[in-house]
Structure 1
Amino acid sequence: KNRNGCLQALGRPVLPRSPPRAPDGWSAMGRKAAGLRAGFSQMHWMRLSAGMDLTEGVGIADPDSPRCRRISMAEVHRHQSRQDAWMVLRGRVYNVTAYLPYHPGSVADLMRGAGDDATSMFDEVHPWVNFDAMLEACCVGVLAADETLAQGESPKNKREVGAAPLLHVDEWQEFTVVSAQQASADSVLLNFRYAQGRRLPLLIGEHLQVRSMVKGRETIRAYTPVSSFKAAGNFGLLVRRVAKGALSPGLASLAPGAKVSMRGPRGSAVYGAYGSCRFRLPSRAHALGDSGVLQARCVLFASAGSGLAPALQLLRSIESLAAAGVAELPQLTLVHASSCAEEVPALLELLRLATALPNLALRFALPAAAAYQDTGVEAAEDVDRHASLAGSVASVEAAGGGAEWRAERLSRELLVQWSPPPAEDTLVLCCGPPAFEADVASWAAELGHATSNTHVF
Structure 2
Amino acid sequence: MWIGLRRTECAVRIVLLCAITAQRYSPPTQTPQSACSWVCRVRREFSLKISLLGYYYFNRKRKPQITLIDPSEKYQLRLVDKEIISHDTRRFRFALPSPEHILGLPVGKHVYLSARIDGNLIVRPYTPVSSDDDKGFVDLVVKIYFKNVHPKFPEGGKMSQYLESLRIGDVIDFRGPGGLLEYKGQGCFAIQADKKAPAETKTVRTLGLIAGGTGITPMLQLVRDIIKNSSDTTTCSLLFANQTEKDILLKDELEEIQARHPDRFKLWFTVDRAPADWEYSEGFISAEMIQEHLPPPSDDSMILMCGPPPMIQFACNPNLDKLSYRQSQRFVY
Q: For each residue in 1:240-292, what CA deviation from the matched residue of structure 2 results, as whole angstroms up to 9, or x when unmatched? A: 21232221112134343332221211223421xx33321222249x9xx9962
**Other-structure match for 2:111:** 208
Q: C-alpha separation between the residues in 1 aligned to 2:60 and 2:204?
A: 30
Alignment length (residue pairs) = 275
Change (3 A) 1:63 1:430: same
1:299 aligns with 2:202: no
1:280 aligns with 2:280: no
Change (3 A) 1:280 1:167: closer
Q: C-alpha separation between the residues in 2 aligned to 1:258 and 1:290?
A: 38
Amino acid aligned to 2:247: E
DSSP-derived class of the 2:166 partner: coil
**Other-structure match for 1:6:** none
**Other-structure match for 1:368:** 273
**Other-structure match for 2:157:** 245
Contact 1:304–1:433 at 8 Å: present in 2 too?
Answer: yes
Gaps of 5+ in 2: 1-7, 18-52, 147-155
**Other-structure match for 1:193:** 95
Q: C-alpha separation between the residues in 2 aligned to 1:197 and 1:360?
A: 32
How far residue 453 of structure 1 moved from its aligned partner, in angstroms, is: 2.2
DSSP-derived class of the 1:230 partner: coil
How far residue 63 of structure 1 moved from its aligned partner, in angstroms, is: 4.9
DSSP-derived class of the 1:294 partner: strand
Q: C-alpha separation between the residues in 1 aligned to 2:290 and 2:101?
A: 39
Trace 1:51-200 onto structure 2 (pairs within 5 A). 62-66=9-13, 75-76=60-61, 115-117=63-65, 168-194=70-96, 195-200=98-103
Out of 304, 307, 310, the residue aligned to residue 429 of structure 1 is: 304
Contact 1:228–1:316 at 8 Å: present in 2 too?
Answer: no
Give the fraction of aligned pairs with identical amino acids, expressed as a percent: 24
Gaps of 5+ in 1: 1-60, 78-114, 119-164, 370-382, 391-403
Q: C-alpha separation between the residues in 2 aligned to 1:412 and 1:328?
A: 29
Q: C-alpha separation between the residues in 2 aligned to 1:201 and 1:242?
A: 28
Change (3 A) 1:72 1:248: farther
Amino acid aligned to 1:116: P
Q: C-alpha separation between the residues in 1 aligned to 2:248 and 2:238?
A: 13
**Other-structure match for 1:347:** 251
Change (3 A) 1:307 1:294: same
How far residue 73 of structure 1 moved from its aligned partner, in angstroms, is: 8.5
Q: For each residue in 1:311-334, what CA deviation from the matched residue of structure 2 results, as whole angstroms up to 9, or x when unmatched? A: 11112222332xxxx323311111
Larger deviation: 336-345 or 275-284?
A: 275-284
Change (3 A) 1:300 1:338: same
Task: Output the aligned Cα RMSD.
Answer: 2.9
Q: For each residue in 1:345-403, what CA deviation from the matched residue of structure 2 results, as whole angstroms up to 9, or x when unmatched? A: 1212222222233311111111214xxxxxxxxxxxxx3xx64xx5xxxxxxxxxxxxx
Amino acid aligned to 2:218: P
1:263 aligns with 2:165: no
Amino acid aligned to 1:197: E
What is the TM-score normalised by the length of structure 1?
0.54
How far residue 295 of structure 1 moved from its aligned partner, in angstroms, is: 2.0
Q: C-alpha separation between the residues in 1 aligned to 2:69 and 2:78?
A: 13
1:449 aligns with 2:325: yes
Q: For each residue in 1:88-107, what CA deviation from the matched residue of structure 2 results, as whole angstroms up to 9, or x when unmatched? A: xxxxxxxxxxxxxxxxxxxx
1:410 aligns with 2:285: yes
Out of 171, 192, 216, the residue aligned to residue 308 of structure 1 is: 216
Contact 1:294–1:425 at 8 Å: present in 2 too?
Answer: no
Amino acid aligned to 2:268: R
Trace 1:385-400 onto structure 2 (pairs within 5 A). 387=277
Q: C-alpha separation between the residues in 2 aligned to 1:327 and 1:293?
A: 20
DSSP-derived class of the 1:204 partner: coil
Q: C-alpha separation between the residues in 2 aligned to 1:171 and 1:224?
A: 18
1:332 aligns with 2:280: no
DSSP-derived class of the 1:368 partner: coil
Q: C-alpha separation between the residues in 1 aligned to 2:79 and 2:326?
A: 42
Amino acid aligned to 1:218: L
How far residue 237 of structure 1 moved from its aligned partner, in angstroms, is: 1.2
Contact 1:169–1:264 at 8 Å: present in 2 too?
Answer: yes
What is the TM-score normalised by the length of structure 2?
0.73
Larger radius of gyration: 2
How far residue 405 of structure 1 moved from its aligned partner, in angstroms, is: 1.9
